[in-house]
Amino acid sequence: MVLVFRCVCSVLTLSTREQNEDRQIEALTKFGVPEQNIIIDKASGKDIERDGYQYLKRQILRKGDTLVIKELDRLSRNKADIKRELEQFKDMEIRVKILDIPTTLTDFPPEQAWVLEMINAILIEVLGAIAENERNKIRARQREGIAAAKKKNVRFGRPPKSLPQNWRQIMADVRNGNNEHIYIKGDGSLDDGMEIVTHPMSLEYHKNDMKWQEVMQRAISLGYRSHQTSTCGLHIHVNRNSLGDTHDEQEEVISRILYFVEHHWNEMLKFSRRSEYSMNRWAARYGFEKTGREILDKAKKGNNGRYAAVNLMNWATIEFRLFRGTLKYNTLIAALELVNAICDLAINLTDEGMSKMSWSEFVDTLHEPELIQYLKERKLYVNEDIANEEDM
């Protein structure tokens, strides 16, 4: 259970069906939290990537706020995660109060604040270790239970999906062809779904050699959807070394990319096909600043985690996470072409040139037919009506 004063919001964490939120709600309301402002996260405390908690960190908490937690293990049951989160809050100048650690609720004079910090650091170290130890015990009991159930031939997971008899051949064709272009993996945010991941390839290779239309048609024929879901996304990675020869050159280009995305956020949101809520949840913005370097400095603090519109947490790539999933070929190619155009712009323009470029001026530089078609469909090119096929 997490509460924010000043913003008057809270997040309650539940991890099992047997847990009841009443105890946590009662404790928070006694502390002065209006019940209607409590948001419930029905997810395990072992995972800090909880929707409500991450939305709280990325979109609500600001410098000077106070974060109140019912119990330390409601933040996390991993000691390293606890320490990292608390350090982030400290850097953000957000005070953390834990109801079950009374010393965190005490207000000391400024000249004695170091005493409070020392006491709380000791308590959090000890209680964090206890929480992690309890989590390890739970995992051990789970493993023992699963092993015992398997001996009794108990099946785990969802019922198997009904697939055609030639499923193996279909997957072999889609995954390999003459060369291995893609691999398929699971994803924790998907129910009965899969994630298609390509090996590194250029824009031209995507358009001319990668058989995207065949892949998409087969996925649709097997009953899969991407746009018509609530969690699927299209994530586009760009190699950092394509943005410059040195680290400093790459940083300059990345700062201009971030500036472009923030400066033209309304157009990027419309292009993405995501709702504002979905964008905040899966691909939050860093926030507009006067310069790209200021946005980059903000991004490096990592408060958005990987759930950022342009994720910089990967060592070898930057990741554009803005786009909603699609099984429509032209939409995919248009997104790839847009990312390529933004990167080209960031490489070739100065900071001043980037800041002066309007959306209409940017669009005038584009020549790719798929991208122009998509911009017209989204009314981002010129104000003319055009037939638009349903996305899948």
- Per-residue pLDDT reduced to its tens digit, 337-390: 999 999 999 999 999 999 999 999 999 999 999 999 999 999 998 644 445 566
Q: Is 288 left (phi over 0), alpha (psi -120 to 50) or beta?
A: beta
Separation CA 28–CA 19 (nearest Å): 16
Residue 269 burial (CB count, 10 A): 18
Average pLDDT over residues 273-280: 86
Q: Are 288 and 295 in contact (CB under 8 A)?
A: yes
Question: Residue 141: inside a domain, yes or no?
Answer: no
Average pLDDT over residues 126-132: 65
Residue 324: pLDDT over 50? yes
Percent of the chain with pLDDT over 90: 29
Residue 218 and residue 235 in one domain: no
Positive or negative: CA dihedral 189, 331, 372, 337:
positive
* Residue 212 belongs to domain spanning: 159-224
pLDDT band at 209 (very low <50, low <70, confident <90, very high): confident
Question: Residue 253: inside a domain, yes or no?
Answer: yes
Domain count along the chain: 3
**Upper half-sphere CA count for residue 34 (Cβ side, 13 Å):** 7
For 283, residues 6+ apart whose C-beta sits below 8 A from its C-beta are: 233, 272, 274, 307, 308, 309, 321, 322
Question: Residue 342: inside a domain, yes or no?
Answer: yes
Question: Residue 203: inside a domain, yes or no?
Answer: yes
Question: Residue 144: inside a domain, yes or no?
Answer: no
Residue 15: pLDDT over 50? no
Phi, psi of 302 (to 5 degrees): 75, 20
**Res 383: pLDDT:** 46
Residue 199 and residue 280 in one domain: no
Catalytically annotated residues: 15
Q: Are 218 and 164 in contact (CB under 8 A)?
A: no
pLDDT digits (tens, 9 = 90+) for 58-74: 767 777 777 777 777 66
Residue 117 and residue 184 in one domain: no
pTM value is 0.57
Average pLDDT over residues 271-294: 89
Q: Are 54 and 302 in contact (CB under 8 A)?
A: no
pLDDT digits (tens, 9 = 90+) for 375-386: 999 999 864 444
Q: Which of 208, 224, 240 is the last residue of a domain?
A: 224
Token pair in block for residue 211: 């058989």
Residue 129 and residue 209 in one domain: no
Separation CA 346–CA 257 (nearest Å): 6
**Res 386: pLDDT:** 47
Residue 239 and residue 362 in one domain: yes
Residue 268 and residue 322 in one domain: yes
Residue 220 and residue 110 in one domain: no
Query: 17 or 51, which is more confident?
Result: 51
Residue 248: pLDDT over 90? yes
**Averaged pLDDT of the chain:** 77
Residue 168 and residue 64 in one domain: no
